[in-house]
Structure 1
Amino acid sequence: MEILSNVLIFYFGFNALYWFLFSFSGKFYRPRKVEAVPQGKAFNKIAVLIPAYKEDEVIASVVRGNLAQDYPTEFFEIVVIADGFRSDTLEDLKQYPVRVIEVNFEQSTKVKALNFAIEAIGDQYDLAMILDADNIMEKSCLSRMNALFVDQELRAVQGQRMAKNDNNDMAVLDGLSEAINNHIYRSGHLALGFSCPLIGSGMAFRYRMVKRILSQMASVGGFDRELELRLLREGVKVLYDTKAITYDEKVQNSNNFYNQRRRWISTQFVYLRKYFVEAILLLFRDGNLSFFDNAVVRNSQLPRLLFLGFMFLFTALSAFVPYFGSFQAWAAIVGLTVLSVILAIPKSMMNRKLIFAMALLPKTFFLMLKALFSVKGANKKFIHTTHSSNDVK
């Protein structure tokens, strides 16, 4: 029991310290200063790639929203990769100035869709902007990305992804989780010189580079984790930019929450196992700390909600169960973790909606626990998260 308690204290203590370090550092992050590109000069040709699987309900509103960019229309093209769409939806999309590429895979994945589309549209683009089928870019997003990529050394940028909706308690909590992750894993990491972890959408890359890397991938789930590790393996660091904003629909029901988290947890285990040895070798041979951080440290962390639940449980047990560990040590872990979370919550989200949404935490904890014990096979098949036609809040 004493050995187990020491292992638990070390694991939870390390992660509490990790989160606090990056949460505190995130307060010092500042987005890169860039000048707007003069009209008619240095405009990159951007392919906005939207892989979409059976998203008939949202795709038209998403297309309309993303066409409303202040970036010159002749320098960007929206490419909808339509997988499993109804014929009436495809007909409806013809009224918009976008390219629609129909695909129908036996086993659908984002990587397959992106590779098919990139091959179909050719190489006349400078940048690729990847979105999810529910994402809507803020109107200056492409202009901001273009201004950043004037820096010829820059290869990849993860923009800030923000909640598109907060229409129920589940969506509020999901949006809160995204905001905390942005602060700790993106702002905090950039502030300390690490590469920014990718989210999976709202991200831009040099076109030919991402085309080459995606062609080498066959991910079923978690394509963003594999993509970021392949970038880091090549020494490509990802910049995080809070001013290149994409709005993302947050999950609104228990079933979508469970399926999404089950897929995410499975992805962690898959890539921890796949890249563990390589991460150790690159750390000691090349000093590639960002690769180690993304492949090993982040993938070995419990999802935050599970971490918090188990942390409070073990702290309570330490007060009553002999040899379970020092209550003072657990109390310190609780203090660091709670402080890191508080530091990471945006002031704009500290409102009545968040207070009411907190009542849903016990339910979401048990959903996460269920997902943890149901991960087998979750990364071997595509698990689709359905979306609604919500506009940006």
Structure 2
Amino acid sequence: MEQVLLILDWILYVLFAINVLYLLVYSLASLRQKLPVPPPSTKYKRFALLIPAYKEDAVIHECVHSCLEQDYPVDSFDVVVISDSMQPETNASLSLLPIRLVEVHFEKSTKSKALNAAMAAIGNDYDIALILDADNVIPYNYLRDVNNLCACPGVEIVQTHRVAKNLNSDMALLDAMSEEINNTIFRLGHAKLGMSAALIGSGMAFQYDLFRNTMANIKAVGGFDRELELTLLYQGKRFHYLPETFVFDEKVQNTNDFSRQRRRWLSAQWHYCTVFARYLFKAIAERNWDFCDKMFQQLSIPRLLLLGFTFLLALVCSFYNFIWSLKWWGIFLLLIVALLVAVPRRFCTSRLAAALQALPYTFLLMAANIFKLRGANKKFIHTAHGVADSNQK
């Protein structure tokens, strides 16, 4: 019996160690010299700022005004709000602004449907499609920064640095920290090693024709950005990153929203892993390492689950066989190092120490979501924005 447990222990250890070392490598890579700053461009590309807005009456105006206040020629960008199920008063007030308002009506709403409908309505007289969420806010120099990088030869796709707009609850703080860890490992660390940065669903810019043609074949209900990302990576496209160009995004403020959001993410991760798995061997043969890397991410253990289960396995082994536990405590320590390196110093405050007390509960929520994935990717799960909630359960 002990021999069987030993074999199982080593199988689990190797699986977890690969996941931990992956995070550690890219986390440490983020410490390398800064990415080069693109030179200012004298040519202004024409932008379509596409903002899908499903029941986003509470936040859409702040987003739109930040877009209209750009330090960029007004005839070189259009703000396109895709209004889905918003109130008539909201649509009426938006129609008074110098934007393009596209009202859509779907029996079952999805982000991919909204974006495709908008592009069909506004035509093709654009160079760049910039995707924002309705709760996003962008600084005045945002379009100039994106334009400068898009003007560089070979740059077709750009992801900007999404940061928290709100830190008004412990959950919002933890969500903000989690996203910054993702930015460090999956975007900055990747870019510094010459790999594609991960897309994140908003604050991303595409060569317009490329985006329009790719989106025409994407029918995703949830996680459209994952399908878009894997599709483009399989085509050999490269994703660039602007670490100093920020887009402010509202973080989840309570445990219910956190659970729904992570269930959607987990479902999308597993779904697109199975969809794109058949392309993996061809990608390896063609040395398409960006696609292979992204497929590994789809197969990898979500970070919070990795942290929780590594700790639990180390603890259990400590009681059963202390010698066995040493290797588990070793990779747990490496995981902590990887995460600490990836956390921006501004988060290291006494408030974070208090918020971390909620980690065990959020781990349980994530673990419970494993058993609730069936059908989650077949329906649109909306996270409400603009509702102040300090629930810190």
**Is residue 4 of structure 2 the alignment partner of residue 5 of structure 1?**
no
Which residue identity lines up with residue 289 of structure 2 in the other structure? L
Contact kept, 8 Å, 1:45 with 1:125, in 2: the verdict is yes
Which of 306, 311, 330 aligns to 1:332? It is 330
Question: Residues 42-64 of structure 1, C-alpha deviation per residue, up to 9 Å, x if partnerless?
Answer: 10000000011111111112211
Larger relative contact order (CA 8 Å, sep ≥ 6): 1
Moved over 3 A (4+): none
The residue identity in structure 2 corresponding to 1:375 is L
Residues of 2 paired with 1:312 and 1:156: CA distance? 38
User: Does residue 15 in structure 1 map to residue 19 in structure 2?
Assistant: yes
Q: Secondary structure at the match of 2:291?
A: helix
Q: Where in structure 2 are there 5+ consecutive unaligned residues?
A: 389-393
Structure 1: how far apart are the matches of 2:234 and 2:34? Answer: 26
Structure-2 residue corresponding to 1:232: 233
Alignment match, 1:347: 345
Aligned to 2:355: 357
One-letter amino acid of the structure 1 residue matched with residue 293 of structure 2: D
SS in structure 1 of the partner of residue 53 of structure 2: strand
Residue type of the partner of 1:382? F
1: CA distance, partners of 2:278 / 2:9: 27
Shift of 1:262: 0.2
Q: CA deviation at 1:70?
A: 1.1
1:95-116 deviation per Cα after TM superposition (whole angstroms, max 9, x unaligned): 2211110001111111110011
Q: Distance in 2 between matches of 1:288 and 1:321?
A: 44
- Distance in 1 of aligned mates of 2:228 and 2:36: 23
- In the alignment, does 2:268 pair up with 1:267? yes
Q: TM-score, normalised by structure 1?
A: 0.95
Q: State the AA in 2 paired with 1:98.
A: I
Q: Does the aligned pair in 1 maintain the 2:38–2:152 contact within 8 Å? A: no
The equivalences for 1:207-246 within 5 A come to: 207-246=208-247
Counterpart pick for 1:388 among 363, 386, 389: 386
For 2:31 and 2:113, locate their aligned partners in 1 and report how far apart those are by CA, in whole Å.
38
Tell me which residue corresponds to 1:122.
123
Report the Cα offset of residue 299 of structure 1: 1.0
Contact 2:63 2:138 in 1 (8 A): no
The answer for unaligned runs of 5 or more in structure 1 is none
Code of the residue aligned with 1:217 in structure 2: it is I
Provide the residue aligned with 2:391 in structure 1: none
* C-alpha distance in 1 between matches for 2:33 and 2:83: 38
| TM-score, with structure 2 as normaliser | 0.95
Name the SS for the 1:242 alignment partner: strand
Deviations 1:168-220 (A, max 9, x none): 10000000000000000111111111111100000001000110000011111
Q: Secondary structure at the match of 1:137?
A: coil
Give the conservation status (yes or no) of the 8 Å contact 1:221–1:382.
yes
- C-alpha distance in structure 2 between counterparts of 1:352 and 1:165, whole Å: 18
Question: Which is richer in helix?
Answer: 2
Counterpart residue number, 1:61: 62
Partner of residue 311, structure 1 = 310
Q: How far 1:7 sits from its partner (Å)? A: 1.4
Q: Distance in 2 between the 1:6 and 1:382 partners?
A: 39
Contact persistence 2:35–2:192 (CA under 8 A): no
Q: Distance in 2 between matches of 1:224 and 1:46?
A: 20
- The 8 Å contact of residues 36 and 147 in structure 1, kept in 2 or not, is answered as yes
* 1:28 counterpart (24, 27, 32): 32
1:67-216 residue pairs with structure 2 within 5 A? 67-216=68-217
- Alignment of 1:289 with 2:293, yes or no, is no
Q: Percent identity, please.
A: 42
CA positional deviation for 1:123 = 0.7
- Matched residue, 1:300: 299
Task: Determine the C-alpha separation between the residues in 2 that align with 1:331 and 1:258.
Answer: 28
- Pairwise CA distance, 1:36: 2.0
Counterpart amino acid of residue 317 in structure 1: V
- Do 2:166 and 2:172's aligned partners in 1 also have CA atoms closer than 8 Å? yes
Instruction: Tell me the C-alpha RMSD between the 2 structures.
Output: 1.4
